[in-house]
Each structure stands twice: as structure tokens, then as C-alpha cells.
Structure 1
């Protein structure tokens, strides 16, 4: 008899509550008898009755907690078992759930990154002083970046939906497609506000007071929202990195942080646009900036990393940087 693989064991565990032994056997190309024997060996049984305490916990928490949280509240119950039991009990409504206090303490890469991204492309609505008392935090992006919103949903351990909409652009009259994710939470709004990400933030944002060891993750998040890596000169085949913001103070603070990290930059006033731009130019300087932002990075906007890799390959930058390093050394 062939050995059971980890993948087969996981499939058995996840489906034993909702499929018959014969259906599992057919999928795994095994006998019904071997499936029942393996289930017994693993301690998986359809006769695992729910206690009254478990049922009560399920009723109290199903609509307000993620499945990951429910599996912690109900040890030994996997997602399929929880869904099946909820269905049998007639508990079908699941509200949008996520980690409301994700931004309470900025103490991880993910939190620093998404705070930076919110500074660039996020928004908060705080209507606490109005009759409606609406609290909303969200991100709106170009339609093609919808997978990035799914990354955010995963980071906050949520079950939120990414929605799409089409509007007519006021500048050129053409249809403009976008994707959105919205979190309705007083706690999340107030936590974002406590870190400087406030309503109508465009002209007044400043670099937040977070752990210096996490600052490069924050800046990477801000870059993925309001930054760009591009060709600096088609003749010299060099690259540049820049950030755009309506807050001059924000860019000045960033410039100081980068200077202390050995990265040179300068700021220009984009006349007539009410915005400023922070530039990092020079192939070695821009490469140093990229490496600073992406040190120990596990979360980023895929298309910007892909663009960087494409430019490096097109301009043979890895070899050029190596030669420059050898000449300097």
C-alpha cells in the first residue's frame, strides 16, 4: 500500500466532514476502506459531536470573527467543520470581519508598509461630529492592482470584498476603472488618525513617529502608492526614483531620513500643480535607495518591482554597478 502524502492527509482532514469516504477515495484514487482507516488513525471522525459550549461559542462569534479566529476559539475544528455546523444551525449571515486594531501599534513590517500605503493612496472618513457617525478607512487603486488590495485583506485577516467601479474622468471625459476596499471601523479610523493618517490629509501629512527600524518599510509603502522608478535619461541609460506629495514638510522629513541613510535627494516645486517631488538620481544613488526600501521586504506592489527588474536588465545595471564598485574599491 502506497504511503499517504502530506497533501493527501490535509485533503482528508479538510473534507472528511463534508464528503463521503467514497468521494474522498475517488478523488485520492484510494479505496474506501483505506480512507476510513486513515481517518481513524488521524483521529478524524464524522461522529465528533459538538458540545453545547462549542455551539454557543459558534453562535456568538460566527458573524463577527474570521475563520482563523474561529479556529482558535474552537480548537480542533477546521474551517469546513465550522462552515458545515453553522449551516446546519441556520447561521448563514457573516458580516465583514477583519482586525479592527491592525494599526493600533506599528510594530511589524506589514503594519509599517500599509501605513505608508495609506498615507499615499488610502483615505479615512470620520463623521463622529455629524449625525451619521460614519467611520470608514479604505484604499482606491487602478483596476489592474486589485491583487494588491487582496494582500491588504490578507494582512488584516479579513473577509472583505474588493469592489470595482467605472467613472468618467473629469480631465479627459474617458471611462476610468478602479478597485476599492473599505473597512467600516471606528477603531481602525482612530488608530490611523493617531499615526497622522487623518481625513483630508493631502496637504498636511508628516512622517509618523514609528520605530526607526521599520521606517524603510513605511517609505516603501509610500513609494508603492505615490512613488515611481523610471528611466532618468534614455541617452545615459540611467534610472531615477521619485516621490510626489502635496505636503512639502513630508518630503523634507523624508529627505533627512534618506540623507542619514547615505542617500542623496532633492525636492522640486511642480509649479501650477500644488505638489512637490522628491528625486533620487544617479545610478548608484538610486540603487542604494532601492536596496534601502526593499531590505527584508516581503510585501510590495508587484508591478513596481517588475518594472525595476526590467529596467535593470534593459540597462545592464547590475554589471555597471559592479564595475563602479570595483573602480571605487
Structure 2
């Protein structure tokens, strides 16, 4: 056959057989080669058999782009970040051997693919402006499913994975960069998600870290984990960006604003919190029991007389305690 041009169904082959074989051996599929050569896919396979080219079975995918397929098997700061980022902005298709990331920030996807030793080309949706990083790997997909319990319906079924404590801040930074939000002016950080089980676990972790945090349902299928207070926001930023490497620059910069400077950071004064008010009422009752003077007790704990009167009107327990002490 050599360099002789072959015809198939009236079409002229536009690629030399040697080039077709070379492209196949470099990883291209028979369909892609057939389109480039202006012949049918069956004709390409026939030519390969005649030239003793070992054919890959139907459905087999041969890598076109480089990738460390075993990336999620080994913990590291960057692996934890990318895993957290995937929990927020990633997905696996049920019918394809593909692991995908979606983000409007092209830079972070470029950094992620470099970290994963991939030269995969990014795709951009022209309507939404969102960039896609699609990594074709059955091994990587299986690892995400088997090691971390991720499913194709991750948005509502995600379960918080077991993360070694030394990598926890990197994982949460990745999740925050995907599904997190910070408002420096209102001193609020929030995470949004559709899996109640995942958010409840996240809530508990953040509470254990000492942040002022609560869960708020925004729709039937979505909720927010919210961190509030200047000091909590500052400490959260210090924690997630500790030993950072991968991160979204625009979100990081919000934590560096003057309103979140260490010198200005104090949560609301204890006098404005429920816990503090209860403590002051307790303190008031103890001091009053000794001196039996409303005015002196107000002065000693630093409240106005009208505050004491308000406590009497609105808190029956406090009122009964004062009356009993007066007796």
C-alpha cells in the first residue's frame, strides 16, 4: 500500500499511512485519525491490522495529555487543597472516566493542573466565562470514589472526608476558594453547600477551632456555615493561609484589608453577647447579696440603673433571684 492514496466510499485519504500509524501510537484514537484522514473509522482499523499495528480494544482510552493519575493517593498540603477545591468546584461524570474542575479564575486551574503534572488544555464556556479542567483518568476517578466516597451527585450527597489534622487548614482553604465568601465590612465568612451532613461536620470542626460559627438554612436544599466577628474572621484567615502555596489571590487579599488588621480585631464586647449578659447578671446578684444596694451594685459592675431595671422586666429568673436575696 505504501504511499498510495486509498479511496473509501468515494472519499480520498488525505493522510499517509505512516502518519496515521504514528498518530495512533502517540495516543490519538481511531475516530480522531479517521476524521483527519478523511476516511471511516473502520477503514483506519483495517489499515492498522494490515500493518500489524497492535490495536487497543474498543472503549480503551489512551492518554493524550500528561497527568499524575495517582495524585490523590498521597497526602500533601497541595493535595489537601486540591481535594477541598474539588469538593466545592469539581465533579465526576457517572458515564465517563473524567475528573473535572470548574472555575472562573483561570490562574488557579493552571496552578492545579501544573501541580498534578498535567498539560491538559483548559476549555472556556463562552456564555458563562467559566473555565473547565477535564482530566481523563479512570484511576483518579476511582480514587476519589473509593478513598473519599465522592459520587457524581456530590452537591447533595457529599460526606466530609477524614483529613489528617496537619492538612485540615489546606483542605478547608481549598473548599473556601471554591464555595466560600468573605465580606470584610460585615465581618462575615460563609460556606454554601447542599449536603447537610458535610456542612454539619464542617460546622463542628470550625467550632472546635474556636471560631464564632453557626449554620443557617437559606433554601430547602442549601445551607450556609457562617463565621462572624472580627476576631474570628482574622483568626480563620490566619489559620487557613498558614503555610499556604495554592490559593485564590482575590480572596486572600480580602483578609489583608485594614478592617481586618490585628490591631483592630476584637469581637463585639462581651457585654453585647448573651453569655456575657448572663455572667453580669450572675455577678450583679452575688454583689447585691452582699451590699443590698442597687445603686452601688450597678456602679461596681459598670451598668446604668435603667439596664438593671430592664433586666428585672425581661428576665423572670433574674427578678426572682434579686427578690430572694432582698428577703
TM-score normalised according to structure 1 size: 0.60
In the alignment, does 2:64 pair up with 1:95? yes
* Closer/same/farther in 2, CA of residues 323 and 140 from structure 1, 3 Å limit: closer
In the alignment, does 2:91 pair up with 1:137? no
* Cross-structure match for 1:147: 107
In the alignment, does 2:253 pair up with 1:284? no
C-alpha offsets along residues 152-206 of structure 1, whole Å, 9 cap, x if unaligned?
1111011111121223xxxxxxxx2211110010001011112122211111112
* Cross-structure match for 1:156: 116
Distance 1:94 1:268 in 2: 44
Computing the radius of gyration over CA atoms, which structure comes out larger, 1 or 2? 2
* Closer/same/farther in 2, CA of residues 265 and 160 from structure 1, 3 Å limit: same
* Closer/same/farther in 2, CA of residues 322 and 283 from structure 1, 3 Å limit: closer
Runs (5+) with no aligned partner, structure 1? 1-58, 65-92, 128-133, 168-175, 234-238, 325-329
Distance 1:323 1:116 in 2: 28
* Cross-structure match for 2:144: 192
Which of structures 1 and 2 has the larger relative contact order (alpha carbons within 8 angstroms, sep 6+)? 1
SS at match of 2:169: helix
Runs of 4+ in 1 over 3 A off after TM superposition: none
Deviation at 1:102, TM superposition (A): 0.5
Deviation at 1:63, TM superposition (A): 4.8
Distance 2:129 2:185 in 1: 29
What RMSD over aligned residues (CA atoms) do the two structures have, in Å?
2.5
Deviation at 1:292, TM superposition (A): 1.5
SS at match of 1:225: helix
* Closer/same/farther in 2, CA of residues 276 and 232 from structure 1, 3 Å limit: farther
256-265 or 200-209: bigger deviation:
256-265
Runs (5+) with no aligned partner, structure 2? 1-21, 28-61, 269-327
* Cross-structure match for 2:52: none
C-alpha offsets along residues 235-278 of structure 1, whole Å, 9 cap, x if unaligned?
xxxx2111001111111111111122222210001035x20000
TM-score normalised according to structure 2 size: 0.60
Deviation at 1:293, TM superposition (A): 1.1
Distance 1:166 1:230 in 2: 29
* Cross-structure match for 2:205: 257
In the alignment, does 2:263 pair up with 1:319? yes
Q: In the alignment, is the contact (CA less than 8 A) between 2:234 and 2:255 conserved in 1?
A: no
* Closer/same/farther in 2, CA of residues 252 and 222 from structure 1, 3 Å limit: same
Distance 1:217 1:95 in 2: 31
Q: In the alignment, is the contact (CA less than 8 A) between 1:112 and 1:215 conserved in 2?
A: yes
In the alignment, which of 207, 210, 229 is matched to residue 163 of structure 2? 210
* Cross-structure match for 2:309: none
User: More helix by proportion, 1 or 2?
Assistant: 2
Give the number of aligned pairs.
211
Deviation at 1:231, TM superposition (A): 3.6
